[in-house]
Amino acid sequence: MHPSPRHDQVRGGHPRRLRLRSLILLVVLLPTLGMLAMATVLASEALTTRDSARRVDARVATLGALADARVVLVNERTTSGVLVFATELGFDEEELLDFTGTDHRSELLASRTAVDTSAILRSLPAMADHRSRLHDVREAVDEGTASSSQVVSIYDDLTAAVDQAWTDEFDQLQDDLRSGEVTGSLQNRAGALRAAFAAQRWGMTQASLVIELYETETSDPATEIQVIAAGARYHAAVETLEDVRGPIANEVWDDYLSDPAVRRFGRDLEEVEEELVSGPSLVLEDPATFQQSLADAEVWAAGLGDLVRAAAQDLSTETVQQERDAANSLQVRVGAAGVLTLLSLAGAVLLTRNMTRPVRRLEEAASQIRAGQFDLEPIETGGPRELADTAVAFNEMTATLASVETYATTLADAPEDPLLDHPIPGRTGQALQVALNRLRSSIRQAEKRRGELEVVATHDALTGLFNRSAALTMIGHDLAAAERSDGAVMALFIDLDEFKPINDQYGHAAGDDALRLVADALRETTREADVVARIGGDEFLVAGAVADDAGEVEGLAERIRDAIGSTRLGTVDGPIGLHCSIGMALSLPGDSVDLLVQRADAAMYDAKKQGRDRIAWARSERMRPSQP
C-alpha cells in the first residue's frame, strides 16, 4: 500500500525540523564550547604557572645558598690572610689577640666549619677539584708557612667557581621565567636579585683587594686598578638596584645604609680609591685604623649578604602572589564558563522550535563568522519581528567584527595608520574601540619607553656619552672587525689633570661642568664612527678603527689635548683652564678589549709621570700576554 502524499509530507518534514533544531543547538552551544576550551587552556596555564613558580622558588633558594657560600669563603679568606700577614710581621697569635682584641684563630675555625658544612659548596665540582689544595693551604696557615699569594690563589679559584655556579643557576632561572606566563614585576625582582648579587660580589671583591694591598705592603698598579674597577662595578650594581629592588630589599637596604659600621667602611673604600693615585691612604698605612676598618668590613659584607637574601625573598614572594592570582583568575573564568553553559542550554530549549528561512540564513552567516569571514552581505530582515531584530543586530555585529579585524590587523602592522582614527560602527564597536585605543596608546608608550631605557642603559647620565659597559661592547665589535680585515683599533685613555682640586675648591657642580666641557670637546674632535665614552670619574675613552697608523692616532690625541686645553671653566675666581693626560694604544693580534684598554690606561699613567698635560704611547712589548 502506497503512502498518501499527506503522510509523505509529514514524514519528509519531520527530519528537516530535527536537523534545523540540531543546527540551532550547535550555534547556541558553540560559544559555550569555546569558553570550555578556554577554561581548559587557562587550567593548563595555571598548572604551568604553578610548576614554574615551584621551580623559581627552588632556584631562588639555590641562589641564596650560593650567595651565603660566597660570604663564608670570603670570611675564611680574610681571616686566613690576617693570620698570614701577622706571621710575616713576626706576631704570634697571642700578640695579635692583644693588639687587635679579636680572637682570629676562633674566627678562622668558625669560618672553616661554615665552609666545610655548606651543602652547596660540597656539591660544587670545583670544591672537589680544589679540596686537596685547600687542605694544604689550611695546614700551611696553621703552621705559619703560608704566603699571602697562596691564600689569595685558592680562595680566588673557589669564589670564581661559586660565581660561575650562581651565574649558571640564574640563567636557568631566567629560562624558567621566560617559559612561564610572568609579569613585568617578576622580571624586575629577578633583575634586583642579579643586581644585589653583583653588588655583593664586586663590593666584597673590592674589600678583599684593599686588604690584599695592606697585607702585601707594596704598591701593585694592577691590584690598584682592580680596586677601582671593582668599585665601579659595585656602584653600577647599586644604581641598578635603585630602580628594581622590591619592598623587602628596600627595607634591608635602608637599614644597611643607616648602620654606622657600613658608613665608616664605605668612606674607607672611597678614601682608598681617591688616594691610590694621589698619595698614601690612612686606611692602608695605620694598623689601628685598618683594624677598625677590618671589623667594619665584616658588618658591611654581612649586610650585602642580607641584601641578596632579601632580593631573593622579594622574588619568591612575587612568584607566590602570581600563582595565587592565576588560581583566582581560573576560578572566576571557570565559573563564568559554567554560568554561560547553563544560559546557553536554556536558550537552546527556547529556540528549538520550527523556524523559517531567516533562521537558516542566520545559521549560514554564523557558520561564516565561525570560519573567520566577517565581510558578509547584510542578512535580509524578513520574518517575525524577533528574527528581524536579530538580523539587524547580527548585521551590526558583523560590521563591527569586520571593522575590529581591520583595526587589529592595522594596529599590529602600522600603529600610526590614519585608518585607526576612523570610528568602529555600533555600540559594541565603540566600546571595543576604547580598549583598542588604549592598547594603541600603550604600544606607543612602550616603544617610547624602550627607546628611553636603551639610552639610559648605554649612556652616561652626566655627559651623555656612552657608558663603560656600552663602550666595551662596541670596542669588542671593532676588534672583531679589525681581526677580519687585518686592521687595527686605537684606544685613547683620557684623564683630567688636577680634577680633584676643582671639586675640592669649587664644589662638585663645578666638577660636573668640567666633565661636560670635556665631553663637548671630545664630540667636536672625534670622528662620527669613534666610540666616545665616560668610563668613570674623570676618565674618558675614545676608540675606533684605524689603518694601523700611529701618526693618525697621535694626531687625534693631540687635537683632543689641544681642544681640552683651550676649554675654560667658569668659576667664582674667574675662568680656569683644563688639562688632560692621554694614553695611546693600538690593538695587537689577539688583543681582548680589556687588554687594549689596560694598555692605554697604563700609557696614560706614563703620561702623568712625564709631567701631566701630555700624551704617551703604550709600552706594547711589555703589555703583551705571555707566551705559553
Residues noted as catalytic: 538
**Sequence letter at residue 223:** T
CA distance 221 to 622: 14
d(CA 521, CA 10): 99
Q: Tell me how far apart the alpha carbons of residues 273 and 223 are, in angstroms, rounded to a whole number.
A: 12
**Of 422, 377, 380, which Cα lies nearest the Cα of 404?**
422
How many angstroms separate the CA atoms of 56 and 67, rounded? 16
* Distance, CA of 468 to CA of 19 (rounded, Å): 74
b/e map 552-585, b = 16+ CB within 10 Å: ebbebbeebbebbeebebeeeeeebebebbbbbb
If you count DSSP H runs as helices and E runs as strands, how many of each does the chain have, helices first? 21, 7
SS3 530: coil
Helix/strand/coil (H/E/C) assignment for every residue in 443-509: HHHHHHHHHHHHHHHHECCCCCCECHHHHHHHHHHHHHHHHHHCCEEEEEEEEECCHHHHHHHHCHH
How far apart, in Å, are the Cα atoms of 178 and each of 171, 172, 182, 192? 11, 10, 7, 17
Residue positions counted in the chain: 628
Orientation angle between helical segments 104-116 and 5-89, nearest 10 degrees: 150
Please give the grid coordinates belonging to residue 200. 655583593
Question: Is residue 566 classed as helix, strand or coil in its secondary structure?
Answer: coil
Buried b (16+ CB within 10 A) or exposed e, 61-89: ebbbbbbbbbbbbbbbbbbbbbbbbbbee
Q: Which DSSP letter does residue 317 get?
A: H
Compute CA distances 475 → 228, 486, 543, whole Å: 21, 16, 7
Neighbours of 508 (CB within 10 A): 10
Residue 608 CB contacts under 8 Å (≥ 6 apart), including other chains: 495, 497, 581, 614
144 backbone dihedrals φ, ψ, rounded to 5°: 80, 20
Element (H, E) at 568: strand 568-569
Q: Could you tell me what percentage of the chain is helix, strand and coil, using 3-state DSSP and rounding each to the nearest 5? A: 75, 5, 20
Residues ≥6 apart with Cβ < 8 Å to 217: none
**CA-CA-CA-CA torsion sign (315, 320, 325, 327):** positive
Angle at 125 between CA 119 and CA 131, to 5 degrees: 80
